[in-house]
Amino acid sequence: MTGGPAEHARRTADLVDLVQRMARGDADAFADLYDETSASVYGIALSVVRSPRLAETLTQEVYADAWRTAARYDPGEVTVLAWLISTAHRHIVERVRTMSRESAPDRFSGLNGNHRFDRANPAGGSRADAEQARRAWCLLSPTHREAVTLAYFGGYSQTEVARMLGQPLGTVRASIRDGMVALRAATGVGL
């Protein structure tokens, strides 16, 4: 895996092909999609729910949903990875918000320490992709990184984030927005 824009584009096109074959009932394409993307989906589930067992369950639900809805994927709108990861995150967050401290204890236990927002975990994917993500991440100001981390990787609502950080809701919302705008620029999306 060398990474680079050409490799990135080829991989993006390959994923579209897989989803279109899935839409026609091709189980092999589905298996390939799983192999290509499961580390990302599982990783996000794990970062939000913080329990491997629960993350597995959610990942399975996400892929079952992807199989059912493959025909609705529109390559003209977003890439497969964005489609899959945004639906996955939505699903994971919706599930976890209905859970109690009893049913998802790990989710709450991780937040008691002092928050450090200075490092990202470059595991999985190609090294080039990981390196790019890490670079983009490191460009964020600590305030923005904190808000985006809690909201996205932690799965907390902006209201919860505001409470956790002791900041007004409007401030947190602006941090999330400014953080996302900065990340969009740093990752080269929309250019």
Partner 1 sequence: MSDVHAAAASYAVDALSSAERAEFEAHLDGCASCHVEVHEFAETLAELAPLVASAPPVGLRNSVLTAVADLRQADLQQADRQQADQQRAARLAERAGRAGAQGSDDVPPRRALASVTELRPLEPHEVAPLEEHPSVVPEMPWLGVTAALSEDLGRRSRWRERVLGALVAASLILAVALGGWVYVSRQQIQTLTADAQRQTGLLTAWDARVYYVEVNVDRSTSPVSFVVSTARNEALFVGRDLPPLPANSIYQLWTVDGTASTSAGVVNGSGEVRQMLTGSLREVDKLVISIEPGPMESKTPTGPQFPVSIS
Helix 80-97 to helix 52-69 angle (10° resolution) is: 130
Determine, following the binding rule CB under 8 A, whether residue 13 of this chain makes contact with partner 1: no
Determine, following the binding rule CB under 8 A, whether residue 139 of this chain makes contact with partner 1: no
Instruction: Out of 19, 44, 54, 104, point to the residue binding partner 1 (CB under 8 A).
Output: 44
Determine, following the binding rule CB under 8 A, whether residue 107 of this chain makes contact with partner 1: no
Residue corresponding to tokens 């809690």: 150
Rounded least distance, CB 103 to partner 1, Å: 19
The site string for partner 1 over 14-43 (x = CB under 8 A, - otherwise) reads --------xxxxxxx-xx--xx--xxx-xx
Q: Long-range pairs for 176-181 at CB < 8 Å and ≥24 separation?
A: 176/144, 176/147, 176/148, 176/151, 178/144, 179/140, 179/141, 179/144, 179/145, 179/147, 179/148, 180/148
Considering only residues 140 through 159, tell me which ones interact with partner 1, judged by CB under 8 A.
145-146, 148-149, 151-159
Rounded least distance, CB 31 to partner 1, Å: 6
Of 82 and 103, CB closest to partner 1 = 82
Instruction: Out of 4, 105, 110, 168, point to the residue binding partner 1 (CB under 8 A).
Output: 110
Of 55 and 102, CB closest to partner 1 = 55
Determine, following the binding rule CB under 8 A, whether residue 70 of this chain makes contact with partner 1: yes
Of 9 and 78, CB closest to partner 1 = 78
DSSP string, 59-96: HHHHHHHHHHHGGG--TTTS-HHHHHHHHHHHHHHHHH
Contact 170, 162 (CB under 8 A): no
Distance CA 117, CA 141 (A): 10
Determine, following the binding rule CB under 8 A, whether residue 101 of this chain makes contact with partner 1: no
Helix and strand numbers (H, E) in the chain are 9, 0
